[in-house]
Amino acid sequence: MKVQEARYVMSNSDYQKCPEPVLPEYAFIGRSNVGKSSLINMLTSKKALAKTSQQPGKTQMINHFIIDDAWYLVDLPGYGYAKVSKVEREKWEKMIHDYLHYRENLICTFVLVDVRHSAMAVDLNFMAALGEAGIPFEIIFTKADKLKPAQVASQVEAYKRKMAELWEEVPEMYVTSAEKNEGREPILTAIETYNQSFVKTK
C-alpha cells in the first residue's frame, strides 16, 4: 500500500469525542521517546505529520490522522517515563485505557519497542494488559539503524523467546528504522489486509 495523503484531523483527551467510528483505526503507542513520531512520519512519508521531540512526553492527547480518506492512524501518549506530575500521569493512563478498551473501530494497536533494549517489564506489563482485555496488538521494533544487522536479529530472537514464555501465540513483529526508511511496507501491507476485513464485516 502506498500512502497518497495523510492529514491531521483532531486531538482529544476523551475517546467519545474522537471522529465517528466508521473507518478502521490503528493506534501507535510505546514508552516515551521510543521514536513513535519519527515512525509515523516515515510510514506516511510526511516529514512533520507527527511532531518529534527529544523530550519525552511530547504527545499528550489522542491524535487522529486520516490516511487516504480510508483509515485512521492514531498517535497515543507514551507510557513509562515522562516529566509530568503523578496527577497528570494518572489522567493520561485513564485516557489511554478508555480509548484502547472502548474505541469500537480500533482494529490493532502497534506497540513500539526500542530494539536496543531487552524485554522490559513496563512493555511486557502493558502488552499483558492488552492481552487480558482481548485487545489485538503487534510489536514494532524501532531504531534498528542504531545496531548492526546481526545484533538486531539477535535482539528480536531474544524478544520472541521471552514472548513465547508468556504467550501461547507470539504476536506479529516488525523491524523498522525511521532514519533508513526501513520496515514501512510490511506494516502498511498488514494494515491494508486488516482494512479489507473491516470493509467486509461492515
Low-confidence ranges of the chain (pLDDT < 70): 52-59, 81-83, 199-202
Strands 106-114 and 25-30, sheet pairing? parallel
The CATH number given to 6-201 is 3.40.50.300
Reading the block at residue 137, the C-alpha cell is 496488538
Say which amino acid occupies 169: E
Residue 64: the pLDDT is 95
What gap in Å lies between CA 188 and CA 74, rounded to an integer?
A: 14
Residue 202: the pLDDT is 45
Q: Does pTM surpass 0.95?
A: no
Helix (H) or strand (E) holding 41: helix 36-44
What gap in Å lies between CA 76 and CA 103, rounded to an integer?
A: 13
What gap in Å lies between CA 27 and CA 201, rounded to an integer?
A: 20
Residue 81: the pLDDT is 61
Say which amino acid occupies 139: I
- Condensed to tens digits (0 to 9), the pLDDT of residues 118-141 reads 999 999 999 999 999 999 999 999
Helix (H) or strand (E) holding 102: helix 86-102
Residue 82: the pLDDT is 60
Q: Please name every residue paired with 29 in a beta bridge, in sequence order, or none if there are none.
A: 111
**Angle 36-44/184-201 helices, nearest 10 degrees?**
70
